[in-house]
Each structure stands twice: as structure tokens, then as C-alpha cells.
Structure 1
Amino acid sequence: MRALRFDRFGNPDVLYVADVPDPVATDGHAVVAVKAASVNPSDVKNVAGAMEWTILPRVPGRDFAGVVVAGPPEWVGVDVWGTGGDIGFTLDGSHAELLRVPVSALAGKPKSLSFDEASAVGVNFVVAWRGAVEAAAVAKSETIVVFGVSGGVGGAVAQIAHSVGARVIGVDLVAPSATAPAAAVIDDFIRLDPEAPAIGTEVRRLTGGKGAEVVYDAVGGVTTPAALDSLARRGRLVVISAVGTRTVEIDLVDFYHRELSIFGADSGKLDASASAARLALLAPRFETGAFRPLPVARHFELAQSERAYQAVANHTPGRVVIRP
């Protein structure tokens, strides 16, 4: 088969397409013919050497959608989707014609989604679910503030929170585009603008002085002080990233007087099997149309993968998909 490879870390130009042996379905594993595989910012970081658990040489790529071509008879011919913190890091990934995964990592693709759309769901929705539902337990009638609401994870968090009956306040440099799913589910939007009032002040104004029960910070670092300031008493902060700085100062007296909580959510700690279990929970909501992935902005063939990675590195709006 043909597969994208890298044997040293660097910019996207270290990637190359190679002919490698076809994977084999043995020992509880299945083989998937990859129809579409999105490129995530974490894939770009992986190639750059930012993921310390990556083992070289490697086929990159976390998210995928395709058809099972070898494995247990009940799975052969089934359309599947998936992702994982091991795929593309310690196991060969999805930016290839064929992908070998544990049978426990197989999850049926929603029929309502094309292969392109399904391949754009994995990382974003799995870490959104992990942080908003499993860690912070956002609930009906609560208010959640989503930093980075115009991005993939932020947009997924907004949809998940809206689906449980929470009020959603989005925060970002620009509002979600009209075609972005988050645009239809956020109740209020606050622009990240140095000239505007402080984010926490605006959140309290919108919540009658109370603040938000939950803040999901998909940016982190430079936004952490504002995220903490936006919380109500006994509020829960979810952090998944650190932009600009890895360290922040926290007023510990204020922190414990307000009885705040901070949760870290790392999609890299969820392997393909753990991710499949969460995708199985999400699938019915995609079937009904309650959840939608970000629009796919650009498509690339496998031979154009360097350009696909560069497009993500350049912050192309929407999702970038490789079709092996």
C-alpha cells in the first residue's frame, strides 16, 4: 500500500509517500480501507516533534473513516470511523491507504455522514466530550463559556453543551461563520479584543453578576486568567491546551475561597478503543442531525499530503481532509 511517512521531525516537508507492506488482520485486529482522514493541528505538531511519545519512523494521522476489509466476519464490509491518541504516534496512523486497528477500536460510522464528514469528527468531539461531560459534567440550565468556540474543539463543546440544555457563551477572536455548527447553538458571543471590557466582566454581565458554572478553555495559557475570572463560585474549568505560555499565576486565596476546580483533558490519553466507545455514544446524535462536524474546506490526495499539512499549519478555516 501507499502511506505517508516521516522518519525525522520537522516541518511538513519531512513527509513523504512510500510503498510499505499491507497491514494484516491478526490477533484481534482488523484492517480498514481508509476513504478519508482529516488532518488535525495535533498531527502537524506530531510531525514537528511536539508529541514526546511518538516513535519513529511513523505513518501519521489520528482521525479516519473507511470500510473494514479484513477482520471478524461481522465487521467486514462495515463503514467505520475512529480516532485515538495512539494512532499516528505509537501505532501507524490513518494517512495511508490501509489502517490496522484493534477490533475494539471499530465503531460504526453514522449513515448520515459522508466519509469526509465522519473523518472530521474524531479528535474534536472526543476531547470535547471528555472535558465537558466526563470531567466538568456540564448540566441543564448551567452556563458554559467556551474559549476558542470558532475552532473544531470549541464548536464541538458548544454543540454538546447545547444538547444537554446548557446556555453557551462563545469567546474567540472572530465569531463562528454562518455555516459553522457552533453559530446555531451559542446564546451569546464575546470577542477576544484588548480594547473591549474584560472577558470575566462581560460574562458576569451576561449572567446577572454570577459568572459561569463551567468554562471550557480550548486555547489555554494566554486565556487562563480570563477563564478563571469568568467562573462562578464552585465553577469548573477545563483546560486542553496552552498557547503562548505554559505557566500562569493563580491567586490561591481567591481560588479556594471561590471553591473552584480545574480539570485537564488530554485526548492523547485515550487510545483508539477508548475513543471508539465515546464515538459510539456520539453517533446517534449525528444520525439525528443534532451534532454536525465543521465543514470540510479542502481535500487532498495522498501525494499532496505535504500541502494538506501546510494548510492546517497555516490555520485554514474548516477541516482539511486527505483521501488516500
Structure 2
Amino acid sequence: MKALQFSRTGDLAALEVVDLPKAVPAAGEVLVQIKAAGLNPSDVKNVLGRFPYTTLPRVPGRDFAGVVVEGPQELIGQEVWGTGNKIGFSRNGSHAGYITLSAKGVAIKPKSLSFAQAASLGVPYTTAWDALERSLVDANTRLLVLGANGAVGNAAINLAKVRGAQVLAAVRRPEQLAALQERGFDAILLDKPEHLGAQVNAVFEGGADVIFDTTGFWLPAAVQGLAPFGRIAIIAAPVDGHVQLPALALYRKGGSVVGINSLLYGVEECARMLEQFGKLFDEGKLPLPTGLIECALEDGLARYAEVNQGSVDKVIFLP
């Protein structure tokens, strides 16, 4: 089978298109023929050596959609999707023709989603779902999402809307603001960090109950916009991993910080998440993904390089 593979880290030039034997599923596993596989920033970081637990040589890729061709009889022929923390890191991932994983690690693909659309959602939506669950977002929550134009931020505002939360989206550029407002979301334009508290309080009197920072740069400023007993969920940090947290202001508000890391969840836990929000696509409650860039595995190195250079296009490999 054709696959992308790297045998060393630190340089995207290590990524190659190779021919590998088709994987053989072990007991309790399925063999999935990949119909589409998403490219995430974490896949790029993996090749660059940001994850010390990655074993080599390795086929990268976390998100996929495809058809079960071997495994339990009830799953053979089923259209499935999946994601998880080991595939692409300590076992071969989805940027290939086939993948093996636990039979409990795949979820039935929503009928309303194409293979490419389903493959674009795994990491962004499971991350956003986990953030909303663990920061207790419900119909009574006033939620601020920082970086709502990104893949995870967009997933968060869509999922929060379904939960009935009051959503405020924050972005950096006027055209992003206009696009969100056209979709019916309240939105603000991020300016200087010292202005964030006033901006939030102008919309949510007394502050936001939950602030989801998808950018890694607004945690200190977010404290000023937090309501009493509020929660700040974070999924990123500066390169050195450090921020100057105003601890006095945080504890006086009774606030807390919730770390969100999708790599804490294996394929079986992720499959349960996919099952929970996947049905919302078939019920018409979540918008279908658009604007996907579909390409062959042979274009992999170029596409990895584009993501590494900051491209926000959602790339989908079609093996």
C-alpha cells in the first residue's frame, strides 16, 4: 500500500511516499481501507520531533474515514471514522491506504458526511467536545471562544450553539468578524490584551462563565473577562510553555484553568465522542464542513510544508 512515512524527525524532508505491506489486524482489531485522512498541525509537529514518545519509522496521521474490510463480521463493509492518541505516534497512522486499530476504536460514519468531510473533523471536534464537557458548558453558560476562526474554535462555537449556550466569538481580522456575524454569532475583534476584559463585560455583564482560549496567547488577559467561579479552558501555549498568570485576580474570582489535550484520549474514548456528536450532523444541528482541499498522498510533503508555514486550509488526503 502507498503511505507517507518518516524514519527520522526534525525536518519535513524526512517525509517520504513509500510502499508498505498492507497491515494485518490482530485479534479484536479491524482493518480499515482509508477513503480519506485529515492533516492536522499535530501531524506536522510529529514529523518535526515535537512528540518524544513517537517511535520510528512511523506513518503519521490521526484522523480518518473509510470502510472496514477485515474484523468482526458485524463491522465488515461499514463506513466508519476515527481518531486517537496512538495512531501516528506509536503505531502507524492514517496517511496510508489502510490502518489497523481496535474494533471499539471506530464509530459509524454519519450518513450526511462524505468521507472527506468526516476525515476533517476528528481532532478539532473531539478537542472542542472535551473542552465544553470539562468546562461544564450548558444552556446556562456564557461562553467566550478566543480564536473562533480556527478549526477547534469553529467546532467549539458550533457545538456550544447546539447546547444552547450564549456564545461570543473573538477573532483578529475584520473579515473573520463579518463572516461570524453573517452566521448569526455575536463576535468581537481582538485588540490589545488589556482591552479584553472591557470587551467581554460589554457583552456579558459580569464576565463570561467559560472562556476557551484556542490560541495560547490570551490566558493572562482572559482572567479580566471571567465571571466569578468561571473556567478558562486552554489547548495551547507559547513556544516556551510559559505565561505570566495573574494568580491574584484568578483566585479572587474563584476561577480555574482547565487544560485540554486531545492526546490524552485513545481511539476507543474518541470513538465514543464521535458517536455522541456525530448524530448531530445527521440531525441537521451541526453545519457540514466546506472548503476542504483534497489531494493525493504523493502531494504530502508539499501539504505538510504549507501547514507548517501557517496555512489554515483543511487538507484531506485521498489514498
1:290-313 deviation digits (Å, cap 9, x = unpaired): 123542431210111111212222
Q: Which residue of 2 aligns with 1:258?
A: 253
Query: 1:243 and 1:318 mapped to 2: Cα distance?
Result: 22
> How big is the shift at 1:42?
0.6
Residues 113 and 288 of structure 2 are in contact (CA less than 8 Å); yes or no, is this contact kept in structure 1?
no
Residues 4 and 96 of structure 2 are in contact (CA less than 8 Å); yes or no, is this contact kept in structure 1?
yes
1:117-143 deviation digits (Å, cap 9, x = unpaired): 00001000001111112x101121321
> How big is the shift at 1:98?
0.4
> How big is the shift at 1:26?
2.2
User: Amino acid of the residue matched to residue 26 of structure 1?
Assistant: A
> How big is the shift at 1:248?
1.7
Q: Which residue of 2 aligns with 1:116?
A: 116
2:57 aligned with 1:57, yes or no? Answer: yes
Query: 1:198 and 1:178 mapped to 2: Cα distance?
Result: 17
Structure-to-structure mapping, 1:81-92, within 5 angstroms? 81-92=81-92
- State the identity %: 36
> How big is the shift at 1:177?
5.3
Q: Which residue of 1 aligns with 2:202?
A: 205
With the length of structure 1 as denominator, give the TM-score of the two structures: 0.93
> How big is the shift at 1:160?
1.1
1:80-123 deviation digits (Å, cap 9, x = unpaired): 01111111011100000000011010100001000110000100
Query: 2:48 and 2:247 mapped to 1: Cα distance?
Result: 36
SS at match of 1:198: helix
With the length of structure 2 as denominator, give the TM-score of the two structures: 0.95
> How big is the shift at 1:184?
2.3
Residues 121 and 293 of structure 1 are in contact (CA less than 8 Å); yes or no, is this contact kept in structure 2?
no
Q: Which residue of 1 aligns with 2:29?
A: 29
1:224-276 deviation digits (Å, cap 9, x = unpaired): 11222211111001011113552122233322221001111110010111100
Q: Which residue of 1 aligns with 2:129?
A: 129
Residues 139 and 164 of structure 1 are in contact (CA less than 8 Å); yes or no, is this contact kept in structure 2?
yes
Q: Which residue of 2 aligns with 1:152?
A: 151
Residues 179 and 295 of structure 1 are in contact (CA less than 8 Å); yes or no, is this contact kept in structure 2?
no
Query: 2:67 and 2:313 mapped to 1: Cα distance?
Result: 24
Q: Which residue of 2 aligns with 1:267?
A: 262
Query: 1:178 and 1:315 mapped to 2: Cα distance?
Result: 20
Query: 1:263 and 1:176 mapped to 2: Cα distance?
Result: 30
2:43 aligned with 1:43, yes or no? Answer: yes
2:287 aligned with 1:313, yes or no? Answer: no
2:271 aligned with 1:276, yes or no? Answer: yes
Q: Which residue of 2 aligns with 1:172?
A: 171
Q: Give the root-mean-square deviation of aligned CA atoms.
A: 2.0
SS at match of 2:164: coil
Relative distance call for 1:179 and 1:301 in structure 2 (3 A) is farther
Relative distance call for 1:318 and 1:180 in structure 2 (3 A) is farther
Relative distance call for 1:270 and 1:262 in structure 2 (3 A) is same
SS at match of 1:127: helix
> How big is the shift at 1:144?
0.5
SS at match of 2:312: coil
SS at match of 1:303: helix
Relative distance call for 1:50 and 1:185 in structure 2 (3 A) is farther
Query: 2:266 and 2:229 mapped to 1: Cα distance?
Result: 31
| TM superposition outliers: structure 1 runs of 4+ over 4 Å | 175-183
User: Amino acid of the residue matched to residue 187 of structure 2?
Assistant: F
Query: 1:178 and 1:172 mapped to 2: Cα distance?
Result: 6
Relative distance call for 1:302 and 1:178 in structure 2 (3 A) is farther
Q: Which residue of 2 aligns with 1:72?
A: 72
User: Amino acid of the residue matched to residue 105 of structure 1?
Assistant: G
Q: Which residue of 2 aligns with 1:191?
A: 189
Query: 1:75 and 1:311 mapped to 2: Cα distance?
Result: 36
Residues 35 and 318 of structure 2 are in contact (CA less than 8 Å); yes or no, is this contact kept in structure 1?
yes
User: Amino acid of the residue matched to residue 142 of structure 1?
Assistant: T
Q: Which residue of 1 aligns with 2:218?
A: 223
Query: 1:238 and 1:253 mapped to 2: Cα distance?
Result: 18
> How big is the shift at 1:319?
1.0
Query: 1:176 and 1:59 mapped to 2: Cα distance?
Result: 37
Query: 1:298 and 1:179 mapped to 2: Cα distance?
Result: 23
> How big is the shift at 1:183?
5.8
Residues 33 and 97 of structure 2 are in contact (CA less than 8 Å); yes or no, is this contact kept in structure 1?
yes
Relative distance call for 1:107 and 1:61 in structure 2 (3 A) is same
2:298 aligned with 1:303, yes or no? Answer: yes
Q: Which residue of 2 aligns with 1:247?
A: 242
Aligned residues: 319
